[in-house]
Structure formats: structure tokens, C-alpha cells
Amino acid sequence: MKSFVECIPCFLQQTIQTGRLCGLPDEELKKLLGKLGSQLAAVSLEDPPPVMAARLQKTVTRALGTHDPLQEAKQQSNEAAMAWYDSAMQMIAESHDPLLTALQTAIAGNIIDYGAIHDIQVEEELRRIMDQERSLLQHESSELFAYDQFKEDLNDVRTVLYIGDNAGEIVFDKALIVTLQRLYPHLDITFATRGRPIFNDILLEDASWVGLDKLVTVVSSGTGTPGLILNESSEEFQKLFSSSDLIISKGQGNLEGLFDVPGPIYFLFVAKCKPIAALLGCKVRDILLRKQQV
């Protein structure tokens, strides 16, 4: 997938929010934005959005003097989401269709993204989602929410690679994974994180903190982009990717990185911007379970 011109102001807004969270004074933040502006000419729109973001983010981390400026914010998201885990599992258990509700819950958790949804109140957003989870489903049994096909495929596969996205929402990924294990005990599930800090994307320590490592195999993709770029991942991960019977790609960033990659991929995410919504034929904030079209 190529980048959109709209990705540029989005990334600048991400930088402002990161600077705010790190307590950067306005004058310093203005200088940082100026540095990024001067680098934009060297950024190619031919690259996927995660590649553009990662290249510019290097300037941000150098200016802030830390390789992981959102470390504290990520932990806060994990803690806020974990407070809702039992409620999510109860809602799934009481549902007439536990898998569908688990999918909705996992997708709803994708709203916890400091990179694309600015100035959200995590607990308030989760409460809204929990109260209105039935209204989130807008595309059941269609190309944009290929639920029936997904269920069929789960019966026919053994190995599943689940590519995670952001802190906070990983708690709801856990809820979906637990549900998959209960309904499809034959599945061998592996969960993948980023290899290096980037924005609020998850690392191995996030997966460990929420207890995923006690449920499934957890691996690092080796990437440091906010969305999986397969040819920049480790050789070991690429082998795992190519050998997996089914891949669950969580979040819009992973869609952007894997959009042109063939494979048995289901993209599970919230459409967070107009260019992506237009590309896929949906609305901003629609929830999607889209089977790879390549």
C-alpha cells in the first residue's frame, strides 16, 4: 500500500500528542515539528504508511532522548483495559454467539490507539463500547465482515498467527484468543509483537504483562514499524508467517503493511481515517473482518 498525503498531518498530530505526553514545552515541540517538516521532502509516498511513520519517528525519539517515549502511556492503557477484562469475558460467555462477541470486543479494543484517535479517554471509550457492542456490528456476513467464511476457515486450519497491534487493546486480543481456544481447541496459536518500540505498539513485555505468554506462544516479529512490514521482519518470523494456516492481522497499521501481501490473512480492525475507508468502501470507525483479497 502506498502512503496518502493525509498521512503527513496525521503523523504530525501523533508527534504533538507524543510531545504532550512527554511534557515537551511548546517551543521545543514547535522546533521538533519544524525538523520533521524539513524531512518530508525525503519521504516517499510510494512507501506504506508505517514505513513513513517509522522514518520520521526516529527524529522524534532523538529529540525526546528516549527510545520508547510512550512507555508509560502504554502501561496506563494496559491497566485501564485490564480493568475491563472480566466484564468482556462475561459478556462473551453470556452471548448467543461467543465468537462473534469476542471478535467485536477485540475490534472495539482497537480504538485504544494514541496514534490515530487523538485525545481519547480510554475508560470512557471502553464503557461506550461495552454498552453498545451490538451496534458495532455493521457488516456481518459481507466482504467487509466475512464472519461466516472466518468460521469455516477456523474448522479447517491448525496453526494460527495472530499479529498484535497496540497496548491496551492487547487485553481484548487476549479475550478473543481465549475464546478461540475454547471453541476450537485444535488450534495452535502464536501471537506476534513488534521487535522495537514504536508509538504505542506492543512489545514482548506487554504480552507478558497481560498474561498472553501463559496461553500461547509469543514471538517478536523483529520489526520497528507501526504496522508489520514483512520484508523488514526477522527471517524466523517470515518463515512462521509463510507456514501459518491462517493469519489474524490486528489493527489498521498491520493492514497498511500487509495490504499487498498474499496469504490466508484476515484483517481485524477499526477504519480510522478517510483514505482507508474510501479504499475499502466503508465509513470511518466501521469495524471490519476482511479476508485478504490478493
Q: Which domains does the chain have, with CATH numbers?
A: 7-64 (no CATH), 73-291 (3.40.50.10880)
Q: How far apart are CA 68 and CA 112, in angstroms?
A: 18
* Mean pLDDT confidence for 242-258: 97
* Mean pLDDT confidence for 59-81: 90
Contact between 8 and 55 (Cβ < 8 Å): no
- pLDDT at position 27 is 95
> What sign for the dihedral angle of Cα 41, 47, 48, 50?
negative
What residues contact residue 282 under an 8 Å CB cut-off, 6+ apart?
139, 144, 271, 288
Tell me the three cell numbers of residue 286.
466501521
Averaged pLDDT of the chain = 89
Tell me the three cell numbers of residue 52.
513513513
Express each pLDDT in 173-189 by its tens digit.
999 999 999 999 999 99
What is the total residue count of the chain?
Answer: 294
> What is the DSSP pairing of strand 246-250 with strand 287-291?
unpaired
Can you tell me whether residue 249 is helix, strand or coil?
Answer: strand
**Closest to 268 (Cα-Cα) out of 260, 214, 258, 278:** 258
Express each pLDDT in 7-39 by its tens digit.
999 999 889 988 988 889 999 999 999 999 998
The band of 125, judged by pLDDT with boundaries at 50, 70 and 90, is low
191: β partners: 162, 218
- pLDDT at position 284 is 87
- pLDDT at position 245 is 98
pTM: 0.92
Q: Which amino acid is at 178?
A: V
Position 263 pLDDT exceeds 70: yes
